[in-house]
A = this chain, B = another copy of it.
Amino acid sequence: MKIEEIIKSASMPLARKTVINIIYTANVLSEQSSDTLKQFGLTLPQFNVLRILRGQKGKPANLSTIQDRMVNKMSNTTRLVDKLIDKGLAVRVICQENRRKVEISITDKGLQLLSQIDAPMDRLNDQAVAQLSEEELNLFNDMLEKIRE
């Protein structure tokens, strides 16, 4: 369905329509992901941080590293990490070389949880873009890049 129909808007400038379309579509995709993640007890930002930690391949990450790599830069990563620790999915150790820093690592339990989530999440993403060819998707990603600049 066209975005104008969805938000029941009269015709609007193409630029405004495009921006609304991106934000609306992102909401749809986020909700789909959140729904899938809910059964695993994770929110989307929590899931993303867990994936970042896994990407460290054993090396711990400090808070600023995590923030750099987050899709949704949020002001308060401390409390998000707290939640992961409460659930036993991550651990926090104060860095000995620089005691201002903390080192955060994913636990075995965290890795195990992620391994369960990978397949359903990839399936979800595949479905989302199934109507576009690889070539179209590459073009589409390039366009997004241009919009961000």
List B contacts of A33 (CB < 8 A): 19
A interface residues, how many (CB within 8 angstroms): 54
Find out whether the CB atom of B125 lies under 8 angstroms from the CB atom of A18.
yes
List B contacts of A25 (CB < 8 A): 22, 26, 144, 147-148
Q: What sequence of 0s and 1s flags, for each residue 115-134 of chain A, a beta carbon within 8 Å of any chain B beta carbon?
A: 00000011001101101101
Find out whether the CB atom of B69 lies under 8 angstroms from the CB atom of A3.
no
Q: Is A70 an interface residue (CB 8 A)?
A: yes
**Chain copies in the assembled complex:** 2
List B contacts of A2 (CB < 8 A): 145
List B contacts of A148 (CB < 8 A): 1, 24-25, 28
List B contacts of A18 (CB < 8 A): 125, 128-129, 137, 140-141
